[in-house]
Amino acid sequence: MINPTTRDLQGVTGLYYETNTGGAAIPEERLVHNYLIEAGLAGRIPKGVRIWEETLRDGEQTPGVAYTPEEKVQIARFLDEIHVPIMDVGIPVVSKEEARGVRAIADAGLDATVMAAARTVRKDVDACIDCGVDEIALFTAGSDLHIRHKLGMTREQVKEVAVRETEYAVAHGVEVSFVTEDTFRADLDFVVDLYNACTDAGAHRAVVCDTVGVMTPPGIRWFFGQLKDRLVPTELSFHGHNDFGLAVANSLAAVEEGVQVPHTCVNGLGERSGNASFEELVLALEALYGYDTGIEISRLYDLSQLVERLSGIPVGVAKPLVGHNAFAHESGIHAHGVIKHTATYEPIQPERIGRQRTFVFGKHTGSLAVAEKLRSFGAEATPDQVLRLVALIKDFAEGRSKKDQQDFIRSFRDRVDRQRGVTDDEFRSLAQKAGIAVRTQPKS
């Protein structure tokens, strides 16, 4: 058996291996091809890509999530320790506790650029300035849908207040990244004019948002191809939501088009179906494109576990890279391949991100995995004994009741429903404390 190391060959990960005899690492053979690198496609990634981390802002907007200021600082310190360069840590105008958390992070002496978010409203901007952040993510509506139905404004009014608040923030010594919501459903001529006006007013970065996750990678490439040649010189940033499961793919497409600052959330947290996953985007850049993000990837799993614990949002079992099954094998064919050579059914070595592979024994288990398991217990068995044990395992797994699993799913869903904000009973109780008479039941 051979065991892979984490060394690279010609920029392609997973091609150097060490023998189980402890010999030196050797280029065994060209076992796999990475056509992104071999065909030069990875070279489309621009220099200077930096992750803008949103776990403490958009990630906290996940229904039911509310960090304490101390928890925010804990997550921010971890992000800083693994060299995340930019983090948006909240909207201080939301509450006194939110402002306390933002201020505490701004005062923590982090190496990262600490941002806070604000609408193009003076009290929002003042709240960010008062917290002492390095930068403000100043956002407004981009699409006519948002302008008309959310803001009740005209395009001219949106532009006027955006320029005014950009100038105000810059005059107070705070850098501005200017953000348009729902950019990809907006009139292109209008958003170009809006970005250029705010860049002229002092903003140094234009943030383009797929607010409801409706873009595809080809659409992203087309849009940025149209946009970037019409903007006055500014850095481009992309914020992608995952409503159709395309946030990471869209973020990669944006980076390929020259976007240097993609947004992420740890564990893919965020509004509705979440944002581009931090761990997925970072590992895609590192392992697939051979791009050094500067992130300490060996601690990604620890970060995922920390955010899972503090957010209260469980990581999905099948979640790529950090999910419970990401490096688990049951099928006899797969387990056999991994035991012979881990690269057969693993795209990266789990140890790279602080994980370990596991073998699950059940209906699909094969004899090689069983024999390996027996050896780990110090037991020797004949081939016939191994086959008998395999048959017993399969029978046991197929005969097991699903009641426990079904009960768990029911209890999990009940718990999620209870944790997603204030319940109807709690709402009525709080309304009564506020002196408001309410119905026993809300209208359906």
CATH number of the domain encompassing residue 279: 3.20.20.70
Structural domain includes residue 187: yes
Q: What is the amino acid identity at position 361?
A: F
Structural domain includes residue 441: no
Say whether both 252 and 281 belong to one domain.
yes
Domain that holds residue 350: 328-399
The answer to whether residue 417 scores a pLDDT higher than 90 is no
Average predicted confidence (pLDDT) for the chain:
90
Say whether both 52 and 165 belong to one domain.
yes
Say whether both 109 and 162 belong to one domain.
yes
Number of domains in the chain: 4
Contact 162, 178 (CB under 8 A): yes
Rounded CA separation 422/428 (Å): 10
| pLDDT for residue 122 | 98
Say whether both 197 and 70 belong to one domain.
yes
pLDDT band at 412 (very low <50, low <70, confident <90, very high): confident
Say whether both 346 and 429 belong to one domain.
no
Structural domain includes residue 239: yes
Tell me the mean pLDDT in the region 216-245: 97
Say whether both 26 and 65 belong to one domain.
no
pLDDT band at 15 (very low <50, low <70, confident <90, very high): very low
| pLDDT for residue 29 | 56
The answer to whether residue 167 scores a pLDDT higher than 80 is yes
| pLDDT for residue 25 | 45
Say whether both 135 and 29 belong to one domain.
no
Q: What phi, psi does 217 have (nearest 5°)?
A: -55, -45
Last residue of a domain, one of 311, 339, 362: 311
Say whether both 286 and 410 belong to one domain.
no
Structural domain includes residue 322: no
- Residue 136 DSSP code: E
Structural domain includes residue 232: yes
The answer to whether residue 127 scores a pLDDT higher than 50 is yes
| pLDDT for residue 182 | 98
Which residues contact residue 188 at a Cβ distance below 8 angstroms, ignoring those fewer than 6 apart?
A: 223, 226, 227
Contact 177, 115 (CB under 8 A): yes
Please report how many Cα atoms fall inside a 13 Å half-sphere around the Cα of residue 129, on the Cβ side.
Answer: 17
Q: Give the sign of the dihedral formed by CA 393, CA 397, CA 401, CA 403.
A: positive
Structural domain includes residue 316: no
Say whether both 292 and 222 belong to one domain.
yes
Listed range (136-140, 146-150, 367-371) with the worst mean pLDDT: 367-371
The answer to whether residue 345 scores a pLDDT higher than 80 is yes
Say whether both 242 and 342 belong to one domain.
no
Rounded CA separation 276/293 (Å): 16
| CA-based radius of gyration for the chain | 25
Burial of 367: CB neighbours in 10 Å, binned 0-12, 13-18, 19+: middle
Percent of residues, the chain, with pLDDT higher than 70: 92
Structural domain includes residue 26: yes
Say whether both 270 and 172 belong to one domain.
yes
Say whether both 127 and 242 belong to one domain.
yes
Listed range (173-187, 209-223, 368-382) with the worst mean pLDDT: 368-382
The answer to whether residue 325 scores a pLDDT higher than 50 is yes
Strands 17-19 and 2-4, by their bridges, are antiparallel
| pLDDT for residue 428 | 87
Structural domain includes residue 225: yes
Closest residue by Cα to residue 140 from 97, 91, 183: 183
Whole-structure pTM value: 0.87
